Structure 1
Amino acid sequence: MAWGQTGHRVTGAIAEHYLSPNAKAALNDLLPNESLAEASTWADEMRSNPHPFWQKTASPWHYVTIPGNKNYQQAGAPAQGDAYTALEQFRTTLKNPQSTREEKQKALRFIVHIIGDLHQPLHAGDGTDRGGNDVKVRFFWQDSNLHRVWDSQLIAQRELSYSEWSEWLLPKITQAERRDWRDTNPQTWIAESVTIRKTIYPKDANNMNYDYLYQHIPTVKKRLQQAGVRIADYLNEIYQQ
């Protein structure tokens, strides 16, 4: 999982602010009475479904693997696919007039989720430690692992709801940032996550608390903001006239 439910909902709530009229109309038609914040967690919730599609086929669609100093193009996708290939597949589904309504609903929910995933640095792992899941740490004096810290514990430490996070982060996105972040190429987001990933492994894994929070919460906030902006831009591009 990436960002946990709170983080994903923040990205969805921010995205709704930047949707074009065409995208809003399309989304309201596909998912009536369902916000992007609600849609954003569906792909994780369905991972408990015992059907082979969810346990095998869709399982690799939440992350990419970029070893060492490679970029995504150099690393490539595994045979079973990954978050990048799934995102391209779901983009095609939404743009295909022959796709069924159910297929488009699934594609839309996955797109919102995957874009959030790709902005969590450890969902662009290097292939050596399962995206930080194997890195055992003590976070605020409790046993954890680095992946869990970045998925949810850094966010949870602030004790805010997703709507509070959204209300606080959204107004802080400047016009300059809005322009700078307007990039719908997932390989850009992946490269950013790889760069960040290299800076977040703790020097003292048994003593991660206020210092670590202070150092990295600004990055968490920025990645949530960027993911929200880019979810909107990605959907706006799909639904442009």
Structure 2
Amino acid sequence: MKPMTSALLTLSAVSLCCSAAFYTSTASAWGQNGHRITGKIAEAYLTPAARQAIEDLLGPESLAEASTYADEMRSNPSEFWQKTANPFHYVTLQQPHDYHADDCPPQGDAMSALEDFTATLQSETASRDEKQLALRFIVHIIGDLHQPLHVGSAALNDRGGNDVKVKFYGEDSNLHSVWDTGLVEHQNLSYTEFSNWLQRRITDEQAQTWATPDPYVWINESSQLRDEVYPAADETSLSWDYVYNYTPVMKQRLQQGGVRIAAYLNNVFADAE
């Protein structure tokens, strides 16, 4: 893939087709705290080379801070943020669990964006601003792909659970929002508290096993989980039972997302070096 140059960043996006665009422009996988948790965990697993490269690009900005940039900029009126970048937060699978090249729509998706932004990071001609944007987006995208409902199903055609209306502890919501924020915020922890709790429970063996930089693996895992997290058709009120059953899944995906952010960046900056 070619590096994402400033020309590409201002490229007009093709209008999203209904079958591919499964989540609304206001959704953000894991919400702010969830993304920050994955970024904070990732910092513990960076190689010295990756850590230095990140510091050279971002200065004092942590990966936790960088992780939410792609959502925070959604109110920017530029065409890139209002149109082009919208599909970069998810993928939609035509097959049940594996991503194929044909799954990528003309306007792109999280996989194509990850490839483009990676090429930008490794480019010798991309500007510092372009590389900063690429790094922030990579951290965000990897977090997104670990939220099961950001790996959508064309067969379900429900916009990653956005169309599955539920009540969460009595409040109107939808399944996608429950996974973006509901399960995480129900813990009533700051992102630093939550990330510290989760990181301390990652064993060395788990860190080694999870540390794959292959997004096809992450997508397959999320798609398998996606099929499990849908409540029964008559189960529209989610509370203690649902939280009890799926909080362990949410926690592990946050842990894995953090480890994989580090694994991916370690690989990227090792290749660049």
The verdict on a shared fold, with TM-score over 0.5 as the criterion, is: yes
Give the secondary structure class of the aligned counterpart of 2:100.
helix
Cα pair 1:66 1:75 within 8 Å, conserved: no
The runs of at least 4 aligned residues of structure 1 exceeding 3 Å deviation read none
Amino acid at match of 1:23: A
Which of the residues 96, 99, 123 maps onto 1:96?
A: 123
Structure 2 gap ranges (5+): 1-27
Give the secondary structure class of the aligned counterpart of 1:199.
helix
Output the CA distance in 1 between the equivalents of 2:29 and 2:260. 16
* Residue 222 of structure 1: aligned partner: 252
Q: After TM superposition, list the pairs within 5 Å mapping 1:1-12 onto structure 2.
A: 1-12=28-39
Which of the residues 55, 64, 68 maps onto 2:82?
A: 55
- How many angstroms does 1:207 deviate by? 2.0
Amino acid at match of 1:177: Q
* Residue 134 of structure 1: aligned partner: 163
Whether 1:72 aligns to 2:99 is: yes
- How many angstroms does 1:74 deviate by? 6.3
Cα pair 1:20 1:236 within 8 Å, conserved: yes
Output the CA distance in 2 between the equivalents of 1:64 and 1:216. 22
Give the secondary structure class of the aligned counterpart of 2:105.
coil
Output the CA distance in 2 between the equivalents of 1:34 and 1:70. 35
Per-residue Cα deviation, 1:97-121 (whole angstroms, up to 9, x for no partner): 1111000000000000000000000
Cα pair 1:138 1:205 within 8 Å, conserved: no
Amino acid at match of 1:200: V
TM-score for the superposition, normalised by structure 2: 0.86
Per-residue Cα deviation, 1:118-146 (whole angstroms, up to 9, x for no partner): 00000001130111111100111111000
Output the CA distance in 2 between the equivalents of 1:125 and 1:233. 24
CA gap of 1:79–1:197, structure 2 versus 1, over 3 A, is: same
- How many angstroms does 1:67 deviate by? 3.3
Cα pair 1:11 1:224 within 8 Å, conserved: yes
Cα pair 2:45 2:262 within 8 Å, conserved: yes
- State which drifts further: 154-163 or 70-79: 70-79
Q: Percent identity?
A: 56
* Residue 199 of structure 2: aligned partner: 170
Give the secondary structure class of the aligned counterpart of 1:114.
helix
Q: How many matched pairs?
A: 241
Whether 1:30 aligns to 2:57 is: yes
Output the CA distance in 1 between the equivalents of 2:173 and 2:254. 22
Cα pair 2:97 2:224 within 8 Å, conserved: no
Output the CA distance in 1 between the equivalents of 2:192 and 2:184. 13
Whether 1:207 aligns to 2:237 is: yes
- How many angstroms does 1:84 deviate by? 0.4
Output the CA distance in 1 between the equivalents of 2:220 and 2:97. 9
Whether 1:188 aligns to 2:230 is: no
Give the secondary structure class of the aligned counterpart of 1:24.
helix
Amino acid at match of 1:212: Y
Q: After TM superposition, list the pairs within 5 Å mapping 1:110-121 onto structure 2.
A: 110-121=137-148
- How many angstroms does 1:44 deviate by? 0.4
Output the CA distance in 2 between the equivalents of 1:205 and 1:133. 16
Cα pair 1:15 1:232 within 8 Å, conserved: yes
Which of the residues 177, 192, 206 maps onto 1:148?
A: 177
Per-residue Cα deviation, 1:79-100 (whole angstroms, up to 9, x for no partner): 1100000001111100111111
Cα pair 1:136 1:205 within 8 Å, conserved: no
Cα pair 1:93 1:103 within 8 Å, conserved: yes
Output the CA distance in 1 between the equivalents of 2:182 and 2:102. 30
Output the CA distance in 2 between the equivalents of 1:70 and 1:233. 22
Output the CA distance in 1 between the equivalents of 2:259 and 2:97. 26
